[in-house]
């Protein structure tokens, strides 16, 4: 008989959760910048309590991909 108080572990989805510090190091930016993106709704975040914020790596990668440029656009302004 199964104990009713046991929790069945969630199946791993392969999604990593990142801290604000990890993202700021990845982007070489301030914590305030990332918090501003979250506050404005540009970047989704998981608020797990008052002081625990996590960001899904997939959301970070999607945000980064919005700024990818290829071809001549990638070099525009590089020599200015």
Model pLDDT for residues 42-56, shown as the tens digit of each residue: 999 999 998 999 999
| Predicted structure pTM score | 0.71
C-alpha span between 45 and 18 (Å, rounded): 10
Strand partners, 45: none
- DSSP code of residue 2: -
pLDDT for res 69: 85
Q: In the predicted model, what is the mean pLDDT of the chain? A: 84
Would residue 44 count as lying in a domain?
yes
Kindly tell me if the per-residue pLDDT of 7 is higher than 80: no
Work out how many domains the chain is built from and give that number.
1
Domain coverage including residue 36: 17-70
Would residue 39 count as lying in a domain?
yes
Q: Which one is predicted more confidently, 69 or 77?
A: 69
Helix %, strand %, coil % of the chain (to 5): 40, 10, 50
Return the number of other C-beta atoms located less than 10 Å from residue 56's C-beta: 17
Strand partners, 18: 55
Mean pLDDT (whole number) for 3-30? 77
Cα end-to-end span (Å), the chain: 72
Kindly tell me if the per-residue pLDDT of 76 is higher than 80: no
Would residue 56 count as lying in a domain?
yes
């Amino acid at each position: 008989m199964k104990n009713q108080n046991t929790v069945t572990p969630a199946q791993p989805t392969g999604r990593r959760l990142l801290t604000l510090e990890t993202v700021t190091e990845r982007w070489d930016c301030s914590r305030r910048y990332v918090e501003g993106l979250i506050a404005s709704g540009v970047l989704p975040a998981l608020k797990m309590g008052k002081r625990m914020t996590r960001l899904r790596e997939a959301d970070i990668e999607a945000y980064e991909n919005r700024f990818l440029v290829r071809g001549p656009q990638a070099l525009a302004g590089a020599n200015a």
